[in-house]
Amino acid sequence: MYQYHTLNNGIKIVFRNNGSAVTHSGVYINIGSRDERGEEEGMAHFIEHSIFKGTEHRRAYHILNRIDGVGGELNAFTTKEETCIYASSLSIHLERSLELFADIIFHSTFPSSEIEREKDVVIEEINSYRDAPADLIYDDFEEYIFEGHPLAHNILGSKKNVKRFSTESIRGFMRRNYTTDRMVISVVGGVQFEKVVRWCEKYFGIYPSAESAADRSETPECRKFDITLNRHTHQMHVMLGCKAPSIFDEQKVAFSLLNNILGGPAMNSRLNVAIREKYGFCYTIESQYTPFSDTGLFYIYAGIDDDAREHFISLVYSQLNHLATTMLTPTQLHNAKQQYIGQMTINNELALNEMQSIGKSYLSFDRVDTVEEMQRDIEAVNSSDITDIAATLLNPDNLSLLTYC
């Protein structure tokens, strides 16, 4: 189903032909905010913005027009551990996407005038983010739980740091980190694999192999805390969370299923039914599981009435205790698996999501599981796996608490 190729310089390619007239392509780079040093905090995200501002061969307008001009879309995003530059276009225009990716990754000039303008854009993004407590609380929570570790870095960085960025510092970060050993080209669309390989050889294979200086050897420690911050919000925002399995942990699949049962996106999640539907004192309640390469985080978030905090926490603890002490019945386990498999399969049916998923997977594991293989992993989870994980990891003694009021 998936086809692979590695260029002589170490850049990897993963591909699936879905026969579509539209192709989604991207370059995944195994560099994110955790790889920044000191005053570089926010640099990976700033590069995501400014990498489109000019190369040795193109001005900013020509970069944007290269894909948009044929009805496609060009975009990028940054996480704690990855940067992705991607595009969607008609399959007949895939070559121009790949050529453009290579140009902006290896030849961006970061003109000073453009950099200064983009600083204002990013600072406004930081300002707008601080006006969204439902988003900001995730960053604050990670900053407290990973205190002193690079994973605590806010992806956007600080205004002070952003103002310090220069053409030279940006180029230095890219030279040190945007190296061939950390790149995966991911493509899903209606083209022949031989053409994809030929175009990647033509536009990416010409660069010498290089290894990143990024160092992730420092294992993060998760500290426990109970902090209340006065954010002058109209409602109270509450987040509970703790350490969770990494992407390489054998418990990852079982924990993902547990998270989906507890507070996944479906309206029948246990937290939604037991708290939102029964008592009505919160509009949004959800749990999330974010695995990193060497650890993971589990969060429960809700926006609640000001006087409902203690009741809310009590109800959450009750649900966690139930998962830790009461095994799922065969019917409950079967239904939970079918729901999770259905959500995963439907999500992967969207070709853009699939392109991003297989790019990240190949970057991390040097392979990509098929949907059938992922289904088998989910089916292998048993009730005791769920109970044991809940009892071990989701014990209230392990949970940290952050409140905005």
The catalytic site residues sit at 48
Nearest residue to 223 via CA among 317, 130, 297, 126: 297
Provide the token pair at 270: 């246990």
Residues 285, 263 contacting (CB under 8 angstroms): yes
Nearest residue to 187 via CA among 361, 30, 26: 26
Give me the DSSP letters along 160-220: HHHHH--HHHHHHHHHHH--GGGEEEEEEESS-HHHHHHHHHHHTTTSPP--------S--
CA quadruple 192, 198, 199, 204: dihedral sign: positive
Sheet bearing 83-90, strands edge to edge: 3-6, 12-17, 183-189, 22-29, 83-90, 73-78
Residues 387, 313 contacting (CB under 8 angstroms): no
CA quadruple 6, 8, 11, 13: dihedral sign: negative
Provide the token pair at 23: 């192709």
Continuous H helices in 326-382 = 330-349, 351-365, 371-379
308 DSSP 8-state letter: G
Q: What is each CA distance from 6 to 15, 153, 175, 258, 385, in whole angstroms?
A: 12, 32, 21, 36, 37
Q: What are phi and psi of 87, to 5 degrees?
A: -150, 150
Q: Residue 239: exposed, middle, or buried by beta-carbon count in 10 A (0-12, 13-18, 19+)?
A: buried
Nearest residue to 133 via CA among 280, 313, 284: 284
